[in-house]
Amino acid sequence: MSFRPMRTLACLLMMMFLVHSCFEDESPVPPHEQGNLEEGQAALGPTYGSQVYFDLSESEVVATNTVSDWDLSFSGEAGGWTIRLNSSRFMLAGNSMDTTFNADLDPDVLDMRFDTSDGNPDSTAIGTWYEPVGDSIRSLRYVYLVDLGIDDLGEALGYKKVSFDVAGGHILLRAANPDNSMETTIPVTLDPQMDRTYFSFETGVRDIVPEPGAWSLLFTRYTTMLVTDEGEDYPYLVVGALLNPNGVQAAMDTLHDFMDIGIEDIAELELTTRSDIIGYEWKEYDFDAGIYTIVPGLSYVIRDRDGFYYKLRFVDFYSDEGIKGYPTFEYVRL
């Protein structure tokens, strides 16, 4: 997206086989009883300053970090060498298409972009920063202007000028302020156990997220494209849930009552790995009352990395004390 400055045992086994046949890489799970109704909550806080990782199989929050803990994330070869922005801060980046690092970069001239919320690696702001050379890659050495976005209080965080290179198994990040002060080159070593390596311009590489197989949903604010009543696109920060991109799938269900959804209903749904399939639209803002309300009749079916299915619905956006930013949800393992 472009932004100019400006998501009975026999029956059970049969349904598992039918659903399994729709997904080429899936392995069937052993027969099991349906789980009990569980409740989960993600404490984002009233300014949505936290990012919360929740694992359905363990029924718990497995990690929490703040939106200010990182700026960029790097994927290795298996992830297509993708560089992502921290979309929870409304970060943008513009490619100068120039390799002159000391050149003046103007955000009013550059095509400033944000990463799309669907998780598509082909729709990132940084884009293709390298070219393949045999079994390796070589940087195109383009210089980018990165808008660091806003913190959880809405304060602008300024800009950084960056370029990327590859050497000795590291990604070399060259960074400076827009006026070329505070220039530095930092080697970013990718962790082979992680799908992404997280980096902060202030503190370097950060160990802040759980391992890829340890979580199902990320509750966070994130940047996405909305549409005005006049049909015009505009980017906006929303608050919702994103899927773990490592094998977690989900589908929206508006046809069945939540309590009635069973394993036999999965075949009617089209599951997807699109990160924002759950997204933010399970709630809406009541302007008259000045509060968020939960959209009725909206459920989700989620398949985790282990092949188990869950049904989930949201029940509140407020804590017991009435503070917003506490998405609360019910779920059952099918």
Residues in the chain: 334
Q: Which residues on neighbouring strands pair with residue 173, listed in sequence order?
A: 164, 186
Q: Which long-range contacts (CB under 8 A, 24 or more apart) does 27-33 make?
A: 27/307, 28/307, 29/306, 29/307, 29/308, 32/308, 32/333
The pLDDT tens digits of the residues spanning 97-144 come to 999 999 999 999 999 999 999 999 999 999 999 999 888 899 999 999
Q: What is the pLDDT of residue 4?
A: 41
Share of the chain above pLDDT 70, in %: 90
Specify the range with the lowest mean pLDDT, choosing from 146-155, 189-198, 252-261, 302-311. 189-198
Tell me what the pLDDT averaged over the chain comes to.
90
Q: What is the pTM of this model?
A: 0.89
Q: What is the pLDDT of residue 78?
A: 75
- Alpha carbon of 20 to those of 55, 178, 277: distances in Å? 22, 52, 20
Q: Which residues on neighbouring strands pair with residue 139, listed in sequence order?
A: 130
| Confidence grade of residue 24 (pLDDT, cut at 50, 70, 90) | very low
Specify the range with the lowest mean pLDDT, choosing from 42-51, 106-115, 166-175, 263-272. 166-175
The pLDDT tens digits of the residues spanning 182-222 come to 999 999 999 888 999 999 999 999 999 999 999 999 999 99
Structural contact between residues 302 and 291, judged by C-beta atoms closer than 8 angstroms: no
Specify the range with the lowest mean pLDDT, choosing from 13-22, 72-81, 253-262, 322-331. 13-22
Nearest to 295 by CA among 250, 235, 253: 253
Q: What is the pLDDT of residue 32?
A: 64
| Residue in the block written with tokens 């015009």 | 232
Q: Tell me: pLDDT of 169 over 90.
A: no
Q: Which amino acid is at 188?
A: V
Nearest to 157 by CA among 201, 218, 205, 214: 201
| Confidence grade of residue 38 (pLDDT, cut at 50, 70, 90) | very high
Q: Tell me: pLDDT of 18 over 60.
A: no
Share of the chain above pLDDT 90, in %: 81
Structural contact between residues 80 and 124, judged by C-beta atoms closer than 8 angstroms: no
How far apart, in whole angstroms, are the C-alpha atoms of residue 171 and residue 83? Answer: 10
